[in-house]
Each structure stands twice: as C-alpha cells, then as structure tokens.
Chain A
Amino acid sequence: MSGPWRDRRERGSNSAIRLIIWLAIHVGRGLCRVLLVPICAYFFVTAPRSRQASHDFLSRALGRAATWRDTFAHLFVFSTTLLDRVYLLHGRQRELDIAVTNEAVFWDALAAGRGCLLLGSHLGSFEMLGIVGSVEKKLAINMVMNVNDSARLGALITGGSASLPYKIIPLGEPGSMLRVKECLERGEVVGILADRIYANETTQNLPFLGSPARFSMSPIRLARLTGAPVVTVFGLFRSGRRYEIVFESVANRVKDVRATDFDAADGAISSQRCHAEYVSILERHARTHPYNWFNFYDYWNA
C-alpha cells in the first residue's frame, strides 16, 4: 500500500530525522530551532510537491493567497513538532509548556465505563496525548497505527532507549479492530488518526475548507460497533514552547438513529452526524491553527 504522502515522507526523511534527534538531545531546544531554519529551507527548495500542497491548503485555511513565508512557517511548525516529539518520548516534557483545554470532557466520557474512542488527526501532534496519559498513571492509552510508519519513526526517535507512552494497535491484521473493542471493553482509551484513508474502506465526501474532500467512514463505523463515547483531541503547537491539547465531545454513543439523527434517551447520534461533526471540528481547528496541518499532499484529490 502506498499513498502519496507516504512516498513523500519516506523520501530522504530518515537522515533528516536522525539529525534532528541527535541535535535535540545534545544541543538543546533553543539552538535546535535555529538549526531547523536551514533544514526547512532545504526541504522548501527540494520538495516542490509538498510545498505546493502546503500552499494550496494554507490558501484555503487562511482565506487568502498563501505566500512563501506562510509555507515556510508551515514547514517550520511541522519540524518543531517533530523536534518536540523527541523531548516527549524521552520524558523531557519540562522543555515545553503544555495547556490542556476541556480535559473534563475526556474524563467524563471515560467515566461511563465504555472506554473512549479518541479521534485525532494530522492537525497538530498526537504525541501530546502521552502527557494526558502520564498525569493519571493508571490510564491505558492505545493508538491505532499503520505499523510501517509508526514503527519506523518510533524506533528512530526512541532509539530503543525510551518507551512509548501508549500501546500500538497495528492496522492490517484480521484481529486489529477486535483488539480495539477488547481495549474499550476494559475501559481503556483508543486513539485513531481519523483524517486519512488507509485502504479501500468506505469513504464519504464532506465539505472541508471550501470543497468536498473524501473522509474514511471506518472510525465512525468502529464507534457504532463498539458503542464507545467519541471525543476529538488536537495537540496544537501555539508558539515558542507552548502547546495546547484540546478535547471536544462528539457523541456519547453512535448508533443507527433514524430521521432525527439524535436519540435524547442515551445521547446517541447517527453515523452520518458523527462523521459530519468530526469533519466540522477538524475544519474549525484547521482554520484557527493552519500551520499545524501535517498532511503535506493534495488532500482534496488524494
């Protein structure tokens, strides 16, 4: 399986990532961010398709024609979050100033005892979730991931010396989603990056920043099958060393609700409505924090 973004990310990124990791640990964050400028300049010049994708996305999100400065800032934010991922995975979150908004929504959802399906995205850094998990040590967090990408990057970043603050549920095995259900039944958290299409699953076109884009129906179908509450989470880079983790409740439960799309008795909403809400929350945050968009490919024609 190969998506356009996957090819892009493979491309020469291993050596750049290794370099950033070494610098992060040995040089310190301030100087590293200065060094990210020439690294970003290199990618700005040598990755025209990513540059074009960034320009297209930013023009939509900003509501004006994006400039080269916008695109450069976009790359800079992306590389900063990669850098900070190193600190997070090495347990050095004191380097960062992380605020959490609406955390109660998350704990309320968990309190129902049906686990929690956390819908994330490539808007911001999902690694931030490890912070919330580490606050309450008993919390078990699982991440559904394409194991080829995550294992590669995870191994690079931790270098085998640090451990991930979550368990990985690899996609692509017959029992992958069965395992998600078992985790939720134990009251655990399961995170999914719901803004990408991973295989030949059912998709739906929904309006996104001005024109329809294809979104996978799988995360919502998973929500309906498991009956778990659905919450969105975004780990957004703000500026300097500031990050904000934002939770929003989407549904207490997803089920086949006819006509009204809503069942007041148990706060359930339909799959269609849940999907539309996820995309509209994603769109709202994408407009507010456009430089956090880390899908560097033609999102509308992928």
Chain B
Amino acid sequence: MDRGLNSEQELAQLIVESLNLDGVSPGEIDPEARLFGEGLGLDSLDMLELSMSVEQKYSVKLRSDDPDNAKIFGSLRSLSQHIQTHRAT
C-alpha cells in the first residue's frame, strides 16, 4: 500500500471515530465519493467537527474562507491530499 492510500485510510478512520458514524467502517468509504451532502451525507456541523479533529491530529487548520474549500471538502481523497500537502513535516 502506498503512502497516499495509507493516509486516506487513516483519515477515514478519523472521520468514523470523530463523527461516531455508526454502521460505517472506514474501509467502506469510497475515497472519491462526496463527503458533504450526498455521498457520505455529512452536514456543515460534521465538517466543523472533522476540521477540529484534523487540526488536532495533523496540525492543519482548515479555514471557512479558503477559496478551494469546495475541492478540499470534496472527497476523502482530496481532503487527504490537502492534509498531506500542508501538514508539518
């Protein structure tokens, strides 16, 4: 498994744990599916909670005024790529 897939799995785990998604296993989340609204069905309050968990775990701060938000929050894959690009190494 390459590094991208690993970090996607780790983020999927974080999503399921921080949002208490009952009956969803991290491996089931389609990395290309939309997180917000249709797809995984998260609302903006879930996005806030997820952002807080992401900040805590990766020290990557997500901002509401980021013009790329539609893309960043678009899917597990895009969020994971954003985190990997911006996390402190």
Contact = CB atoms under 8 A, between A and B. Distances in A.
Interface stretch (B6-14, B24-32, B61-69, B81-89): B61-69
B45 A171 contact: no
Interface in B21-59: 35-36, 41, 43-45, 47-49, 51-52
Contacts of B47: 174-178
Given A177-B47, A178-B64, A182-B63, A200 B41 contact: yes
B49 A225 contact: yes
Nearest to A219: B45
A142 to B, nearest CB: 11
B48 A181 contact: yes
Contacts of A222: 45, 48
A278 to B, nearest CB: 16
A219 to B, nearest CB: 9
A201 B44 contact: no
* Residue of A174, A175, A181, A222 ringed by the most chain B CB atoms within 10 A: A174
Nearest to A172: B44
B70 interface: yes
Contact of A201 (B45, B51, B73): B45
A52 interface: no
A178 B70 contact: no
A177 B63 contact: no
Nearest to A224: B49
A221 B18 CA distance: 13
Interface in A46-65: none
A177 B45 contact: yes
Contacts of A264: none
A174 B73 contact: yes
Interface of A: 171-182, 199-201, 218, 221-222, 225
29 contacts: A172-B44, A173-B44, A174-B69, A174-B70, A175-B62, A175-B65, A175-B66, A175-B69, A176-B47, A177-B44, A177-B45, A177-B47, A177-B48, A178-B44, A178-B63, A178-B64, A181-B48, A182-B64, A182-B65, A199-B43, A200-B43, A201-B43, A218-B45, A221-B45, A222-B45, A222-B48, A225-B45, A225-B48, A225-B52
